[in-house]
């Protein structure tokens, strides 16, 4: 079995990916953190190591579009991609679960999965400091890797009445 340390997730050979559409909000290497509404949330001191975006068909537990990152080369802001979600990182931001689907055209290696988890552990610390500075309470943490189907099951389909997140980020 190809499990990651500290997780009980299945090995790469046992993953059943989910095909979905992702819109890029933050191209790999960008310093601008944008939300699903296109507004700039903050300017990062470090470039984003992944293409980061959302799945327009689903709303995550935080009330915003379900987050997704795409492995691979830099993609254009606003570009749409039909990809496979191979897993997800369960992230907690200000005490709210906020799943991050991990997508690619190919199954990620164990090393890539560990790199994604390492990034989100670091990001949790950084986001926690930013939230303290912004005076926004709540716990921040990377909770680990889960199956993409679990993350999608926790989300809800985006209805016609959804007009954006009600939570300020």
| Secondary structure (H, E, C), 65-94 | EEEEEECCCCCCCCCEEEEEEEEEEEEEEC
The confidence score (pLDDT) of residue 166 equals: 65
Q: Pairing state of beta strands 100-104 and 65-70?
A: parallel
Within-domain flag for 42 = yes
- State yes or no: pLDDT of 1 exceeds 50: no
Model pLDDT for residues 8-62, shown as the tens digit of each residue: 444 544 568 999 999 999 999 998 887 777 778 778 778 899 999 999 999 999 8
* Residue 3: band (very low, low, confident or very high) from pLDDT cuts 50, 70, 90: very low
Within-domain flag for 69 = yes
- Average pLDDT of the segment spanning 143-147: 94
Q: Which two tokens stand for residue 86?
A: 């191979």
Within-domain flag for 134 = yes
The confidence score (pLDDT) of residue 107 equals: 94
Within-domain flag for 7 = no
Angle, CA 123 vertex, CA 40 and CA 145 arms, to 5°: 115
Within-domain flag for 169 = no
- Average pLDDT of the segment spanning 113-118: 96
Model pLDDT for residues 53-105, shown as the tens digit of each residue: 999 999 999 888 999 999 999 999 999 999 999 999 999 988 889 999 999 99
Within-domain flag for 93 = yes
Q: Which residue has the higher pLDDT, 152 or 4?
A: 152
| Displacement of CA 154 from its chain's centroid (Å) | 14
As for how many domains the chain has, the answer is 1
Within-domain flag for 82 = yes
Whole domain around residue 126: which residue ranges?
12-156
The confidence score (pLDDT) of residue 102 equals: 98
Q: The domain spanning residue 102 has which CATH number?
A: 3.90.80.10
Of the candidates 71, 35, 41, 39, the one whose C-alpha atom is nearest the C-alpha of residue 53 is 35
How far is CA 67 from each of CA 13, 41, 98, rounded to the nearest angstrom? 24, 15, 8
- Distance from C-alpha of 60 to C-alpha of 42, rounded to nearest angstrom: 21
* Residue 156: band (very low, low, confident or very high) from pLDDT cuts 50, 70, 90: very high
The confidence score (pLDDT) of residue 15 equals: 67
Q: What is the 3-state secondary structure (H, E, C) of 5-27?
A: CCCCCCCHHHCCCEEEEEEEEEC
- Distance from C-alpha of 96 to C-alpha of 166, rounded to nearest angstrom: 13
Q: Which two tokens stand for residue 99?
A: 């799943």
Strand partners for 22: 81
| pTM for the whole structure | 0.84
């Amino acid at each position: 079995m190809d499990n990651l340390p500290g997780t009980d997730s299945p090995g790469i050979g046992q993953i059943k990916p989910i095909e979905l559409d992702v819109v890029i909000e933050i191209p790999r290497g960008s310093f601008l953190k944008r939300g699903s509404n296109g507004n700039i949330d903050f300017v990062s001191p470090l470039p984003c190591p992944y293409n980061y975006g959302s799945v327009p068909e689903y709303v995550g537990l935080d009330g915003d579009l379900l987050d997704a990152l795409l492995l691979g080369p830099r993609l254009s802001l606003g570009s749409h991609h039909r990809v496979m979600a191979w897993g997800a990182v369960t992230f907690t931001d200000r005490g709210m679960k906020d799943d991050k689907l991990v997508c690619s055209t190919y199954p990620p290696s164990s090393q890539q999965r560990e790199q994604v988890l390492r990034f989100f552990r670091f990001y949790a610390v950084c986001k926690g400091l930013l939230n303290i500075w912004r005076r926004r309470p709540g716990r921040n943490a990377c909770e680990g890797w889960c199956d993409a189907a679990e993350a999608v099951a926790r989300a809800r389909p985006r209805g016609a009445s959804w007009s954006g997140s009600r939570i300020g980020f």
